[in-house]
Amino acid sequence: MDTIILKKLLSGMTLEEKIGQMFQVGFTGTKVTHDIKEMIEDYYVGGIIYFRRNIESLQQVSSLSNKLQMLSANKRPDLPLIISTDQEGGMVNRLVGGTHFPGNMVLGAGRKSSLAERAGRAIAGQLKAVGINMDFAPVLDISNNPLNSVIGTRSFGGDPLLVADLGVAFIKGMQEEGIIACAKHFPGHGDTAVDSHLDLPVIECSRERLEKVEIYPFRQAIGAGVDSIMTAHICVPDLESRKGIPATLSYSILTDLLRGELGYAGVIITDCLEMKAIADNFSAAEASVMAIEAGSDIVLVSHSLDKQKVAIEAVAKAVKAGRIIEKRINQSVLRILRLKEKRIGLESPPVSDYRKINKKTEEEIAYEISKAG
């Protein structure tokens, strides 16, 4: 589908539909709930994020994905949902009943890009079979602070070259299987002892050091065509001079650096705005508006229905008041439509079948990774 057709699709969308496409939301439950039904039908959300609270078996989550996609298709059959999760392997493993792959640190110890690619491909196969079409992986943060508890073994290691090599291989495997990969957390969450789920970290590094270390794997991932990049809730004074403004809300970091200097043309998504690094310093409404002003295409609000509604309504008000111009919304929605068309398709709602999982092959790959590491 070429850009002209996508632009025609965009032109036929209401402002409310366009803004809804720019949000991914979460909910509690293993079945379709009233809350998530409302967000799909009345707020036109473009994506859903699953946590462990949504997954009790492969069969159940496959059925849930199909039902959510049909709900969305009943409103707009040409706008399928992005359904995402964090399936990194290791300590971050959401898919109950699936093969548990070793984490990135084990892949890093093995130092084999071929295994990283196979891991990405195998994880993608699992996700596709249960209707998940986006994985918030791989982590491209550098493990260079021994006090960092939030990244730790989720990183491939402390060498930027190794992290880039394995990360790019993982992305290749995942995307070739048709799953949206997401490199995280830009511009690098490795060199901090503060967990952004709990507080707002500040990374005091020179621009030169950031370029050589933290940013290097992202630059390589961009060159390899990574579908999406997730922002970090961290303050980096050498990249953003305004005190207390995290990367997620920084125009200097997301637009000037990521879009401009690094030339990234894919989808930018925030980490969850309900994490304390954001929520303790900004309201959900203001953070959502600021994230879009900064350059994000998709805003992630993972937990609270009230905050999800407030955030979407705040963006609509900002557009109507002229704070955000509709052209800016259109730019993001066109990127999202392009990604959906590429990885999901816009012709009919996707249907998953958990029986397509090849658990024997996946377990063999997981064993090889463990043995090499």
pLDDT digits (tens, 9 = 90+) for 172-230: 999 999 999 999 999 987 667 555 576 677 888 889 999 999 999 999 999 999 999 99
Q: Residues with catalytic annotation?
A: 197, 271
Domain boundaries, the chain: 3-372
Gap between the Cα atoms of 56 and 59, Å rounded? 9
Average confidence (pLDDT) over 127-153: 83
Average confidence (pLDDT) over 126-152: 84
Contact status, residue 231 vs residue 296, Cβ threshold 8 Å: yes
Gap between the Cα atoms of 292 and 150, Å rounded? 26
Using CB atoms within 10 Å of the CB of residue 265, give its burial: 0 to 12 exposed, 13 to 18 middle, 19+ buried. Answer: exposed
Largest CA distance in the chain: 58
Instruction: Quote the tokens at residue 351.
Output: 């249907």
What's the CATH class of domain 3-372? Answer: alpha beta
Single pTM value for the model: 0.95
Q: Which residue has the higher pLDDT, 290 or 154?
A: 290
74-111 pLDDT per residue, tens: 999 999 999 999 998 877 888 888 888 888 889 999 99
Gap between the Cα atoms of 320 and 65, Å rounded? 34
